[in-house]
Structure 1
């Protein structure tokens, strides 16, 4: 169904109008969505200078995904300046530009292992790093956090370099979950769409900020019963269709108004 307010489908929308002739419509749509995710992450303060990444599998190419070129801030990302790489970390767009090797290691491993992980977000969010450094990790203290109850992974920090052996351990830590705290390091979410990975990251970040605020105010924390947590988590769990579609359409409208160069 065409929604008159969804810039991805609305008649006359300029969202995808700048597509170069040499890039397929499917890849260009992925590029525009991914560039939007970078700009939105920058607005939240989720960027860490030039050192974190959001990647998107290219819909019409095997073993290829898009991510930011090394040295660009999130606010500088556009649909056309994203890198095209393979799951082994090789830049295959013919430009000779560089990517961050650690980013290739994390994103390439997840894209290769998880068919459902079309978009992978790896960030260094302040609140998530702090909660990941707590022994108890994320607690179900807010409704946002309850969606992750018993459905979030943890991976212990092993240093800056991500070896092939650690790639395997990271994937084992992630399992079938769509969100993970990288202890002493950052966050990871993966989604069937950019929208799904983004809303998961939004909820995870808000969950951690809320937990830190509650813990700083008192050590007398109130947690719902396991029965309520089971019910709430089931209600908020990901379903058969990707989450975040309505939210994503509204966010794209905002970017088209305020940062109209992201889709160029």
Structure 2
């Protein structure tokens, strides 16, 4: 009887899920069209746009560039974020709230403001290494996501466990690596993936700081949308969707999505 009364709720849930998935359906459908224009529903069925994307060096080059940039930015955010998270979660010092607000400020500052500020800094300091200045900028953008996620996880860990390890002879670093890190490892992995995804998908800062010698995948897609609205854009997006789904399945297989969410 209860299931009968709950059917309107199931209908609403199905409509909401369909609405959320509709952009993905449109993108995948537009990627297999035989037409030369980006349209939905597709005309016929063809994989020629995937062949074109995989056969053009510009797409593979920009994809590799974006992956390298995301990996380096994720590493920078991790190196900076772990000590900050430990200090914010374990420290009890004056000005902690102000420091927390400062560290997380890139989350509140518009990307274009941050991009212009970094462009002025790089121009005055004479830094002319497009990849590394963009990697540092992405590290600034992604570090708050890692810090916020990891700090929340560290605050849930009982500090007495770390104290017990130190009483048994472990150094502060050893206690963190052997006791605390295994406990917060799912949260750390989730935070690193946040940093990777945010860097990989970032466009505004890249437009200001990349220069003519460096093009990321979002920049290439943006340029194609402006000057050449072809189904190749949908094909690239479809490939990214399937790669994302594959990554989630691998995480589920190795660690479990539920653990990462917790």
Is the pair's TM-score, using the shorter chain for normalization, greater than 0.5? no
TM-score (norm 2): 0.19
Question: Who wins on radius of gyration, i.e. which is larger?
Answer: 2
Q: Which has the higher strand share?
A: 1
Q: Which has the higher helix share?
A: 2
Greater RCO between the two (CA within 8 Å, min separation 6)?
Answer: 2
TM-score (norm 1): 0.19
